[in-house]
Amino acid sequence: MIRPMRPVKLLFISLLFFFGLLTAVGLLFPATVHISRAIDLRGQRKTDLMQRIVDASFQACWLGDSGQLLMKNGIRRTDSSIFVSLSNSKQQLGWVFHGTDGAITMQARIDVALGWLPWQRFQSLLMEPRYGPWLEAQLNKFQQCLLDDQVVYSP
């Protein structure tokens, strides 16, 4: 004879085991995701490009309305990069500059810190297809806005 609580107990233990298994597999995924795209910008100075990223009037050209919201968050600058914290502190949007004046490579990147829960870790699989094309489009808009301004540096 089957006791009435036995199937409930078996279901509870099975769900607990399944959650533990998902968590263990999820912990094999990275805790931080870095998505980046880069573009070569000829005839530009690094300082000018960095200034244009934080310039509100230039942001209207390549970021639209989201630029003003973006830059209201904390900006962290170094001599070759700019990082902005997004809606929460777990996401950052950044621009890193490589090269010398006249031949700059501008890299746009998004860094996302993920939690330990399995659905948060499995979410990392969907980030590249979501944010990669967006970063590419923003870099292409930035380059087009530079061309429209006709500001070229000649060493």
Statement to judge: residues 25 and 70 lie in one domain: no
pLDDT tens for residues 126-136? 888 988 999 99
pLDDT for the residue 28: 85
Statement to judge: residues 42 and 59 lie in one domain: yes
pLDDT for the residue 87: 66
Statement to judge: residues 70 and 118 lie in one domain: yes
pLDDT for the residue 107: 94
Q: Is 28 in a helix, a strand, or coil?
A: coil
pLDDT for the residue 155: 44
Structural domain including 14 reads: 1-29
Decide if 103 is inside a domain.
yes
Decide if 155 is inside a domain.
no
Statement to judge: residues 69 and 23 lie in one domain: no
Decide if 3 is inside a domain.
yes
pLDDT tens for residues 81-90? 888 887 666 8
Statement to judge: residues 111 and 47 lie in one domain: yes
Statement to judge: residues 12 and 37 lie in one domain: no
Statement to judge: residues 65 and 10 lie in one domain: no
pLDDT for the residue 13: 92
Mark the ranges of the chain whose per-residue pLDDT is less than 50.
Answer: 152-155
Statement to judge: residues 122 and 132 lie in one domain: yes
Decide if 62 is inside a domain.
yes
- Domain count across the chain: 2
pLDDT for the residue 93: 86
Statement to judge: residues 90 and 144 lie in one domain: yes
